[in-house]
Copies of this chain bind each other. A is one copy, B any other.
Amino acid sequence: MGLVVQKYGGSSVADAEGIKRVAKRIVEAKKNGHQVVVVVSAMGDTTDELIDLAEQVSPMPAGREFDMLLTAGERISMALLAMAIKNLGHEAQSFTGSQAGVITDSVHNKARIIDVTPGRIRDSVDQGNIAIVAGFQGVSQDKKDITTLGRGGSDTTAVALAAALDAEVCEIYTDVDGVFTADPRVVKKAQKIDWISFEDMLELAASGSKVLLHRCVEYARRYNIPIHVRSSFSGLRGTWVSSEPIEQGDQKVEQAIISGVAHDTSEAKITVVGVPDKPGEAATIFRTISDAEINIDMIVQNVSAASTGLTDISFTLPKTEGRKAIDALEKNKAGIGFDSLRYDDQIGKISLVGAGMKTNPGVTASFFEALSDAGVNIELISTSEIRISVVTRADDVAEAVRAVHSAFGLDSDSDEAVVYGGTGR
């Protein structure tokens, strides 16, 4: 039996009862013969409460001090969790990100892990302890300041530690049963996925699936650390994310043609109207955007109207960045040379993800037929080798997701894929 890293999110340790329940689960893994390293987030609403306090003393809390503040949250949950484990008769030690050797760059509030030197963690588990590590935090390499990793940072901490400790598996405990073929709040017949490849999971994460963040999956793929996403409440088998399918009992889990349908309504669309159709024009626009440190998603350039020599360029980006992008473009209007800007935040994106579409040319056609049958109008299209995404009206998203999910045989009561002769699920 090797070492396992378990990560528990804030909803799993929201109160003393939650902490005691999680402690029992951790002790269970230890009793099964594993060395156990646990990564824990702040309790329930702690982080929000700290942010609220910060806003009361300062309208724009500063990076370094904000990180110092927020990291108090994990310090509380990890110490309590260690106490709860000791109360069950097992040895446990808690460690801050800094003590655990989580070394980051100096970008406060969204630092990136650049090295993990888990000497103290290794010593602790070798001495028979369960090691509890604060998620979401590290220490900057140059200044030795406390940093935080940004949203979903605890998952990344867990995967990075699992890689550095050469763990068997990184178990991500959450409040859902795993990764689903679609968001179960939108598609009632969505099914839990037993196994999914790193590549498909990366595409789902990039397309709006919230269970795992892109950065965390990317890290796991790079170091080939299997992730097991599961519920801290039910204890059932969840979703394995790995390079090769995992055996489940006697059954071999096979690669699905389609892994799932993701959707995202957090983006807006900006259309730059009346752009001269000449080389370098798009470059000027997107240099302006990137200089403002805004990440964009899809880009479409309309066919130029020959009569005017002008064209339109549309792109999507997080709604939260909309104001900043408009300002940056307006400021550089003369340099770019466009007529006007159109901003539309009533859009939604639907993505179909699956490695099978590489070898099943019918997938794209079936996807558009399903949308058409549901009466959904398509505004933009973007594809990768294993994903196809469309932008629609935000109001159409739920219906579109259900239509596509059903058309590809992903609904839980259908035995066979109906659109083309795939493996089905």
Contact = CB atoms under 8 A, between A and B. Distances in A.
Nearest to A68: B79
Contacts of A76: 50, 53, 69, 72
Count identical subunits in the complex. Answer: 2
A83 B99 contact: no
A127 to B, nearest CB: 12
A81 B86 CA distance: 34
Nearest to A75: B72
Contacts of A16: 53, 56-57
A370 to B, nearest CB: 50
Contact of A99 (B60, B78, B144): B144
Contact of A86 (B23, B62, B82): B62
A85 to B, nearest CB: 9
A317 interface: no
A54 interface: yes
Contact of A66 (B66, B83, B144): B83
A357 B84 CA distance: 55
A45 to B, nearest CB: 14
Contacts of A128: none
Interface residues of chain A: helix, strand, loop or mixed (majority): helix
A19 B94 CA distance: 30
A75 B76 CA distance: 11
Contacts of A99: 144
Interface string A388-408: 000000000000000000000
Contact of A54 (B71, B80, B146): B80
Given A19-B57, A58-B84, A65-B93, 19 more contacts: A16-B56, A23-B57, A50-B76, A58-B86, A58-B87, A61-B83, A62-B83, A62-B86, A64-B93, A64-B94, A65-B82, A65-B94, A66-B83, A68-B82, A69-B75, A69-B79, A72-B73, A72-B79, A120-B144
22 contacts: A16-B53, A16-B56, A54-B79, A57-B87, A58-B87, A60-B87, A61-B83, A62-B83, A62-B86, A64-B93, A65-B80, A65-B86, A65-B93, A65-B94, A66-B79, A66-B83, A68-B75, A68-B79, A72-B73, A72-B76, A99-B144, A120-B144
Interface of A: 16, 19-20, 23, 50, 53-54, 56-62, 64-66, 68-69, 71-73, 75-76, 78-84, 86-87, 92-94, 96, 99, 120, 144, 146
